Structure 1
Amino acid sequence: MHKLYLFIFLILASRAEAQAVSASVVADSLYAVGNYSEAIAEYESLDNKDTSVYLKLARAHQAKGTLDDALNYYAQAATGTDEVIAMNEYGKLLITKRKFKEADSVFTELINVYQTNPDFYYQRGRAKEMIPRNIRIDATDSTTTSAQRIIPHILDYKKAVALDSTHQKALGELAVFYLKRKEYPMVEKLAFKALESYPTNVEIISTLAQSYYYKGWNEEAITWFERLIELGQSTQFIHEKLGNSYYKDRMYEKSIEQYLEALDFSPEDDYLHATLAKLYNHVEDLEAAEMHGLLAVLYKDQSIEEEYYTLSRTYEMKKDWKNAMKYANRALEENPDHKNAEYTKVIVADNYYEDRRAVLKLYEDFIKKYSDGEYAKYDPVLRLARERRDKLNREIFMADGEEQ
């Protein structure tokens, strides 16, 4: 009898295990084709989840975009046989979620065990770079540069490059760092090191082109900006900087081509039109020069009422009534019929002025001005203005009665 029970138990256990394996296979297949929600449901249905299942759940949630759930499952996965893999992905997701201190701790823990992994240093550098810190220089420390003392993430990027001289992202971060500091020889050294192993790295090429551009080496800047365009890159920044480099080298026709390309990204940019007007003068295309010159004037002098109105609303919400009134008035100077700016002015006056009768007059003037409109009876702003006018009338009447 005992043997029979044992036999039945083994059959049931094998069936349960087969069902679990089957569910796991189905879930893996669903994940592979991007059906993340159903994959998650299958993984969740497993009775005995191990850390490998938690890792799959974390990845599925991350792919789906439910990042908080992904973080939770990564934390559970980072305790088993896939600990290193889970911690690495967990740390990267923490950076994505802007939890930089937590990411710093995760990668520091990994580095303590895996001291020769370059990407762990790079990822920790990314986290450190975004952590606010007090800058303090120790004048007694003569063994490191000031940049290293006050910018710890640079040490991590340098360590990543020391461990892997082809680490493109670390090289790129260092190149950008030195570009901001105008240390152009270091930018070029790092850029060429990166391009040795990855000649089409457009981020590196862009940094190199900018290095030459900002130090005034026009021919070199042209070479590398042209290379970006050859690689399919097209932005206003690239075309504008290449156009200016041509301009400085008096290559006016080529400069015009690039500024026209830049104009496609920003058709109402008064600076681009003004520059094109100058360039067309150089090549004696006076009709084109006139057209772009007029457009430059038009866009330079265009009304900025909306910008003023937006500022007035911003200050109104901050309850900075003085500035709110100032920018509402500026918007109305640009356009006296800017209805929203005028109503904002009335609202601000209601909060800013002590003279209730003066405020009431503003409401009455506003209502009178806009009551004859075609859709005035459906206008919610006018309805609010009338309600406030009536309430002010009652308040003033009551105040007059109390004084008598």
Structure 2
Amino acid sequence: MYKFQLFIFSLIASLAEAQEASALAVADSLYAVGNYSAAIEHYESIQPKKESIYLKLARAHQAKGTLDDALSNYARAATGTDEVIAMNEYGKLLITKRKFKEADSVFTELISVYKTNPEFYYQRGRAIENMPKNIVLIASDSLEDRKEILYPYLSDYEKAVALDSTHQKALSELATFFLKKKDFKMVEKLAFKALESYPTNVEIIGTLAQSYYYKGWNEETIIWFEKLISLGQNSQFIREKLGNAYYKDRMYELAIEQYLEALKFSPEDAHLHATLAKLYNYTKDLKSAEIHGLFAILYKDQPLDEEYYTLSRTYEMKKDWANAMKYVKRSLAENPDNKNAEYTQAVVADNYYEDKRAVLKLYEDFITKHSSSKYAKFDPTLKLAKERAVILNREIFMAEGEQE
């Protein structure tokens, strides 16, 4: 009788295991093809649940986007043989859910056991970086103490890199930190270290490109932003910064190409239109300059003095004196101290007005206003204004003499 009962018990256990294995296999298959809700139903049907099932449930809920359910299942999973795996994923999800203090605790616990795992230091650094800080500095604090107080997460990123010199994410975080601090030498050191092991890391390349951009090294800026584009990266930021580097190097046609690409991301960006208007003026494509100048005025909020001034220069080069005067006056109405517009107004009037005395007055007003400036003797527009005023005085004097 006992043997028969044992046989029945073993048979029931075997059937239960077979059912569990079958349900698990179906659930795993559903999860693999992205049918997360159905996979969750099958995982939930398995009784009793081991920690490994809770881990699978957590992953399915995370993939589905039901993150609170994922967190609760990770917490249940983090007690069995897969504890380290579950805790690692649990901690990362806590960061995603902005539960930074809890994530800090999870990774601190992992680090206490796994002291040489660079990923745990990196993840704890992420959590600490985003935690609210109650900073108190005292005069006796050393620079190192202040660094630890102000940026406690840095030591974790540095530890991650010390344990794994190829840890791309930790290197990227450190490079970004030093970029914000304008420590460009350190940015470049970290970036090239990262690129030794992963030459196509677009985050690192982007940080390096920005470092050169803010240093004003246009040639290097162009090389690294072009590298980003060759790797399939494309954004208004990339195109605009690359365009500006070409602009600074007076490579106007190439700059125009990049600003036109940037415009695809933001067609109503007044700054992009205004910059294109200036660039087209340089290349003598005055029709395009006029179009973008008008768009810049259309899309920009006040003030508009620079946009009006650029458009007046376009019309000046087209010898459309009426429109040139119209927009230079608008520029000065927006900003009476726009020196370039003041001089342009006199030049346009010189070509547009018949009354030479009115023109002379504009030049004389310009000369009077700017002759006392610190760099007046080096000012080419002031020199030109004085030369033209002398000529106008002579012409007026001779014309009045002939009338007598």
Paired residues, number = 303
Q: Aligned runs of 1:81-100 on 2, under 5 Å?
A: 81-100=81-100
Partner of 1:176: helix, strand, or coil? helix
Aligned partners of 2:181, 2:15: CA distance in 1, in Å? 66
CA deviation after TM superposition for structure 1 residue 149, in Å = 3.3
1:218-237 matches, cutoff 5 A = 218-237=218-237
Once the two structures are superposed, what CA deviation does each residue of 1:152-191 show, in whole Å capped at 9, x if it has no partner? Answer: 0111111101100100000001111000111110111000
Show the counterpart of 1:16.
Answer: 16
Matched AA of 2:162? A
Q: Which has the larger radius of gyration?
A: 2
Amino acid at match of 1:163: L
For the pair 1:124 / 2:138, whether they are aligned, the reply is: no
* Residues 1:245 and 2:245 are matched in the alignment: yes
The residue that corresponds to 2:167 in the other structure is 167
Post-superposition Cα deviations, 1:132-159, rounded to whole Å, max 9, x if no partner, equal 1022335444472633331101111111
> Where do residues 5-404 of structure 1 align in structure 2 (5 Å cutoff)?
5-142=5-142, 144=144, 146-300=146-300
Q: TM-score, normalised by structure 2?
A: 0.73
Q: Which runs of 5+ in 2 are unaligned?
A: 304-404
Q: What's the TM-score once normalised by structure 1's chain length?
A: 0.73
Q: Distance in 1 between matches of 2:93 and 2:143?
A: 35
TM-superposed deviation, 1:80: 0.6
Amino acid of the structure 2 residue aligned with 1:52: S
SS in 1 for 2:234: coil
In 2, are the aligned partners of 1:84 and 1:110 still within 8 Å (CA)?
A: yes
Superposed CA deviations along residues 323-363 of structure 1, whole A, max 9, x for unmatched, are xxxxxxxxxxxxxxxxxxxxxxxxxxxxxxxxxxxxxxxxx
Q: Work out the CA distance in 2 between the residues paired with 1:301 and 1:148.
A: 43
Secondary structure (helix, strand or coil) at the match of 2:144 reads coil
Q: Report the equivalent of 1:378.
A: none
Q: Secondary structure at the match of 2:298?
A: helix
Aligned-partner Cα distance in 2 for 1:302–1:148: 44
- Structure 1 distance, partners of 2:175, 2:145, is 17
Measured in 1, the distance between the counterparts of 2:113 and 2:72 equals: 23
Deviation at 1:232, TM superposition (A): 1.1
- Distance in 2 (CA, whole Å) between partners of 1:219 and 1:275 is 20
Query: Residues of 2 paired with 1:271 and 1:185: CA distance?
Result: 31
Cα distance in 2 for partners of 1:81, 1:138 equals 47
Q: C-alpha distance in 2, partners of 1:147/1:193? A: 23
Partner amino acid, structure 1, of 2:262: A
Q: Deviations over 1:168-226 (max 9, x none)?
A: 00000111100011111011100000111111111111100000000111111111011
Task: For 1:132 and 1:15, locate their aligned partners in 2 and report how far apart those are by CA, in whole Å.
Answer: 54
State the identity as a percent: 75
- How far, CA to CA, are the matches of 1:230 and 1:2 in structure 2? 76
- Mapped contact 1:138–1:149 kept (Cα < 8 A): no
Give 5+ residue unaligned stretches, structure 1: 304-404
Q: What secondary structure is seen at the aligned counterpart in 2 of 1:144?
A: helix
Tell me: CA distance 1:110–1:284, structure 2 relative to 1, closer, same or farther (3 Å). Answer: same
State the alpha-carbon separation in 2 of the partners of residues 11 and 110 from structure 1.
Answer: 42
